[in-house]
Chain A
Amino acid sequence: MPLSPRHLRPCFEGAVPAVIATCARDGTPNVSYISEVHYVDAQHVALSFQFFSKTRQNVLENPRATVVVVHPDTGKQYKLAVSYLRTEDSGPLFECMRAKLAGIASHAGMTGVFELRGSDVYRVESVSEVYGTALEAPPAPEVDVTTLRACMARLSGAIDLASLIDALLEVLEDPIGIVHAMVLMYDPVGERLYTVASRGYAESGVGAELRLGEGLIGTAAQARIPIRISHATSEFGYGRAMREDAESHGVTAGLEERIPFPGLPESQSQIAVPILAGPRLLGVLFAESEATGRFGYDEEDGFMVLASHVGAVASLLEDEAVAVPGEDAQPRGASSAPQGSPLRVRRYVENDSIFVGEDYLIKGVAGAILWRLLRAHLEDGRSEHSNRELRLDPAIRLPDLSENLEARLILLQRRLEERCPELQIEKTGRGRFRFNVRRPVQLAEIPR
C-alpha cells in the first residue's frame, strides 16, 4: 500500500516545523519553513498561510511543490509531492488551523507573530520516505476501535440525558484514561454554552457559561468542528481570562454572579468536539491535560465517534421523552414537611436569576423552572412534576420544543445539589421528578 497523508498524521502536529520547496515561473527555486501542515483527508493537506511570501507568490504561479514533514517521535522524514488548489480564509478548516497554530505559536514563543491569514489546500500527489534511521515508534494510541466499541455500548445503555452525560465522562476516565473533562450544553437562544457536568476538577463549575465563539470550546461549537491544541496558549485559553473576568465582576449589580469556569491552571493540551444531533448542536465535549501533545489526530477521531454517538442517543432519548404518554402529575403533598427557619429566595424578573439568601444560584430557563416549582410548592402544595407540564408552561418561556428542557433540569438539579441542599430535585421516572423542599421558603420577586 503506498504511503498517504493518513499514515503521517503524527507529523502534522506541528512539533517539528515542515519545509516547503517551490519554484518561481522563471525557474528560481525557493525553500521555506511552514508552521502548520494540517491533515485534511487521505489526499489533501492544508498549509498555514501566515505571511505574503515568496512561497505564496510561487505556488500561485506554479502550483507544484514539495513538502518535507518530520515524525515528532522517530525523527523520520517524509516527502510529499503536492499541488496547490485553493485558499480558505474562513470556515471549519480555517478555524481548526487557527486554533492549532495559536498553540504552535505559543510553543515556539511566536504568539502574536504567527497569525493565520488562510489555509492553503494542496492535493497530495505522492508520499515517499526520506532515507534515514528512525528512532523507535511510540506505543499505539489508546483510543482503538475495540475500546471505542466498549465505550459506545455503555453510552447506549443510558436511560436519560443525565445518565448519558455521566456515562460519557465515565468512559473517558476508564477505559480511555482522560481524567479532566466536561460537558457543556448549548442554549440556542442565548447563544451560550453552559456546563452541565465535569470530572477531575476541584469545583464542578456546573452552570458556568461561555459565549458561542468564545475560546476553544466556543469556537468548536460555533464552527461545529473538533478543535485541539497541544501547547498552552493564551489566545484560546478560557481559564485565566474567565477567572479574572469573574473576579472583577463579582456580583454584577445584584442580577447574577458568574459561576467560575472549571479548568486546570497548568493545562497544556485541550480538545473540544461538538456534540451534534444531525445538524443541530446539542453541546460540546471538552477535555484537557497538563501534558503537552496529549490529544492527537487519533484521539480527535475517538472523541468525534463518542460525541456523535452521544448526539444520536441524546436525540433518541429526547424523542422518547416527548412521546411518552404525558399524564400530568397529580397534585400530592410533599413527602415530608419542611422544617426550620424560612429560606429567603429572591427572583430577579429581568433574567430569572435566583438568589437563595445572599447567594446566587441560577438564572435563565433553569431559574424560571425553579421559581415555578417553588410556587407550586407554596400555592398548591405540589411536589410531583412532569417535564411535559414544564414544557407547556408559558411562564418558563421555553422558546420552543426543540429547547433542551432535560439539560436545563440537569443543570438545575446539580446546582441545587451543590449549593442548596434544602431544595432538591429527585427523578421519579422518565420525564417525571419530585421537588423536595426541606425548609419553609419565603419568596420575593424583584421587578425589572
Chain B
Amino acid sequence: MKGKPDRPSPLDADHAAFIQGGVSVIVASRDADFIADVVRGCGCRVSRDRRQVTVLVEPSRAGTLLTDIAANGRVAVVFSQPSTHRTIQLKGSDASIVKVTPSDRAIAVRHLAAWKEELSSIGYTPDFAGALRGPAEHLAAIRFTPSAAYQQTPGPGAGQRLAT
C-alpha cells in the first residue's frame, strides 16, 4: 500500500499544527521477523501540501529502527499531548531515511522547548522533560507519506480514522 502522490493527505491543517507542536513523538517500525522496535522522537515537520511527514530521531536511541525502515519502509508514529491526552497515529509504508537539514535541527530545538513547556503544565520539571526526550545531539530524519491516520485519544472514538 504505497502512498500515492495523488491521494489527498489524511491530515488537515489542525492535525498538522498539532503534530508539529510540543507533543510526544513515538516512532515504530519492524524487522524482517515482524518484531517492532520503537523510539521517542525529537520533533516533526509536515510538508506544505501535508502529504509528507518527516520525524526526527536520535540514532543512538533508535535501536534497529533506522535499519528496519531502510529495509522495509514501514512506519507508525504516534503523537500525543500529555496535558489533554489528544493522540493521533500515522502510518506509512514508503518511509526512508533522508538528509537532516539545518531547518530540521531548528525544529528539534523548538520541539524541546515546546515539550518542556507542555510537561511543565502538568507538573514535570524541564530537566525531566529533557531527559525523557533526549538531547538530540545527532539527528536522523525519517520521511514518509501518511497512508492512514487514526484518532487514538483514549475513549470511545479511539482507533477510528481521522476525519478531515
Contacts and interface: CB of A to CB of B under 8 A. Distances in A.
Same complex origin of A and B:
yes
Interface of B is mostly: mixed
Contacts of B155: 113
B63 A51 contact: no
Contacts of B29: 29
Contacts of B60: 131
Contact of A134 (B37, B39, B129, B131): B131
Most buried by A among B72, B127, B132, B135: B132
A31 B150 CA distance: 11
Interface string B18-42: 0000000011111001111111100
Contacts of B74: 27-29
Contacts of B28: 21, 29-31, 66
Which range holds the interface residue count of chain B?
Answer: 35 or more
B89 interface: yes
A22 B26 CA distance: 13
A51 B158 contact: yes
A81 B31 CA distance: 13
Interface stretch (B3-11, B44-52, B77-85, B100-108): B77-85
A74 B131 contact: yes
B40 A28 contact: no
A75 B128 contact: yes
The 8 A-B residue pairs whose C-beta atoms are closest, nearest first, are A75-B131, A21-B36, A21-B38, A21-B28, A31-B28, A23-B30, A23-B34, A29-B76
B27 A31 contact: yes
12 contacts: A21-B38, A23-B30, A27-B74, A28-B91, A29-B91, A30-B76, A30-B89, A32-B78, A33-B87, A77-B40, A79-B63, A132-B61
Contact of B35 (A31, A66, A76): A66
Interface in A165-188: none
A70 B132 contact: yes
Interface of B: 26-30, 33-40, 58, 60-61, 63, 72, 74-78, 80, 85, 87, 89, 91, 93, 127-132, 134-135, 150, 152, 154-155, 158-159
B36 A53 contact: no
A30 B36 contact: yes
A66 B130 CA distance: 23
B144 to A, nearest CB: 12
A54 interface: yes
A22 B36 CA distance: 5
Interface in A243-266: none
Given A29-B76, A54-B159, A132-B61, A76 B38 contact: no
A113 B87 CA distance: 15
Interface string A112-134: 01100000000000000011111
A3 interface: no
A66 B40 contact: no
